[in-house]
Chains A and B, each alone.
With several copies, the nearest count.
Chain A
Amino acid sequence: MGIEIWRQGSWLVGELTGDLDIASVPVVRVRLERSLAKQEVDGLILDLSGVNFLDSSGLGFILGRYHQLAEDGGKTIITGIQGQVKRVFELSGLTELISRKESLPEALQAIREEK
């Protein structure tokens, strides 16, 4: 499991890889919170195209970031969900709450156009 974090304009992008479960979430959460604490951002894109498996621990991690961002009026977009990840997202109802784009390039295009 890993996360690669970079800045795109006023947004932060986190590209996740591997399985997102109770063992990997703490590692990824610490890294992302450290990045969020260091800078002001308008929003967060979490790209899940490299995530093969996600359960309620992973959903909780994403929902937690969504609430954290929303407190300061920030947005959260998730991208690249497929297979088991998509299934769990849809069963959870989280797709009703958190914006979703097919792919990371599509999300980057959308935030560029918003300005």
Chain B
Amino acid sequence: MTTNYVRLEFPSKPENVAFARTAVSAFVSQLDPTVPELADISTAISEATTNIVVHAYPESEGLVRISATLIGQRVKIEVWDNGCGIFDPRSIRHFGTTTCNQDRMGIGLSLIEACMDHLEIETKEGEGTQLTMWKCLGQQRSDSGND
């Protein structure tokens, strides 16, 4: 089984969210995913990175680290920040936002869960958050009948 990986590091600027999803998608393309699978990965990376820009470092800019590892037909993606951490554990499993921004819906983490096969969240108040997510690719191709 061959493994391959990439690591990305950049400051938490809004304009880097598009970079992050494009770069991770370009890397994951090696596994020859279907178009919907690649779209789901873009969505998950976009949500995870946006949360860092908005929530992890609300007042200033901080570091974002993303790694993606290919293991057989699976991709494992880690998204790391050393920001404020998720202090209300209920925000993880429930719809809702902790930000007073009228236009945030509080569905970022739920979207990540829906787009990936598995999501794990490690967080510590004041120390940061790491999301680890997995997805098996080329699945929809073999399960014919699905769109």
Contacts and interface: CB of A to CB of B under 8 A. Distances in A.
Asked whether A and B interact, the reply is yes
A61 interface: yes
Instruction: State which size class the interface on A falls in.
Output: 20 to 34
B14 A87 contact: no
A63 B46 contact: no
A57 B111 contact: no
A56 B105 contact: yes
Nearest to B16: A23
Contact of A56 (B15, B40, B104): B104
Given A19-B18, A83-B35, A91-B114, A53 B46 contact: yes
The SS class assigned to the B binding surface is: helix
B126 interface: no
B102 interface: yes
Instruction: State which size class the interface on B falls in.
Output: 20 to 34
B42 interface: yes
Contacts of A108: none
B17 A59 contact: no
Interface string B12-40: 00110110010000000000000110011
B40 A87 contact: yes
B53 interface: yes
Contacts of B114: 91
Contacts of A42: none
A87 B39 CA distance: 9
6 contacts: A23-B18, A56-B47, A56-B108, A60-B101, A87-B43, A92-B105
Interface of B: 14-15, 17-18, 21, 35-36, 39-40, 42-43, 46-47, 50, 53-54, 101-105, 107-108, 110-111, 114-115
